[in-house]
Amino acid sequence: MSVAWTTLVIGASPHPQRYSYLAVQQLHKHGYPVIALGIHEGMIGEIPVITSWPMVPIHTVSLYLHPRHQHLYEQKLLDLHPKRVIFNPGTENPSFEDTLRRAGMVVIEACTLVLLSTHQFETAGLNGQA
């Protein structure tokens, strides 16, 4: 995978029982460069969970934040302007999704873990525009 596929997991947790933890692990296992952003520092395997916004180009954001907390990241996400934002189960937010779409981002409601396990991560929502 190239750096062009760097994925930012927002809501990453260093707790192994969390789906965001599993997503970071699986993204790394599948060869995708991954950045884990959370509210508490820690480690997910060899990937650090950072608490400050990364300053690198991001292809995909995988969101693991309840809608009531998403407003804290809205402007930063708009400024980052990734190609795609994945709203994982429980994070769906039609208003925020519409805002991101109007800004030109691909937005999908899907499970990152399922996309990876079914080999659809690179195509979901992108229609050949990776």
pLDDT tens sequence across 101-126? 999 999 999 999 999 999 999 888 88
pLDDT the model gives residue 128: 56
| Residues 62, 72: Cα–Cα separation, whole Å | 16
Residue 109 inside a domain? The answer is: yes
Residue of higher predicted confidence among 50 and 123:
50
Mean pLDDT of the chain: 93
Q: Is the pLDDT of residue 130 over 60?
A: no
Among residues 72, 75, 96, the alpha carbon closest in space to that of 85 is found at: 96
Q: State pTM to two decimals.
A: 0.93
Q: Provide the CATH number for the domain around residue 27.
A: 3.40.50.720
Do 80 and 61 contact (CB within 8 A), yes or no?
yes
Residue 130 inside a domain? The answer is: no
Residue 123 inside a domain? The answer is: no
| Residues 119, 42: Cα–Cα separation, whole Å | 28
Give me the domain span that covers residue 27.
3-117
Residue 44 inside a domain? The answer is: yes
Domain count, the chain: 1
Residue 122 inside a domain? The answer is: no
pLDDT tens sequence across 9-44? 999 999 999 999 999 999 999 999 999 999 999 999
Residue 32 inside a domain? The answer is: yes
Amino acid letter for position 23: A
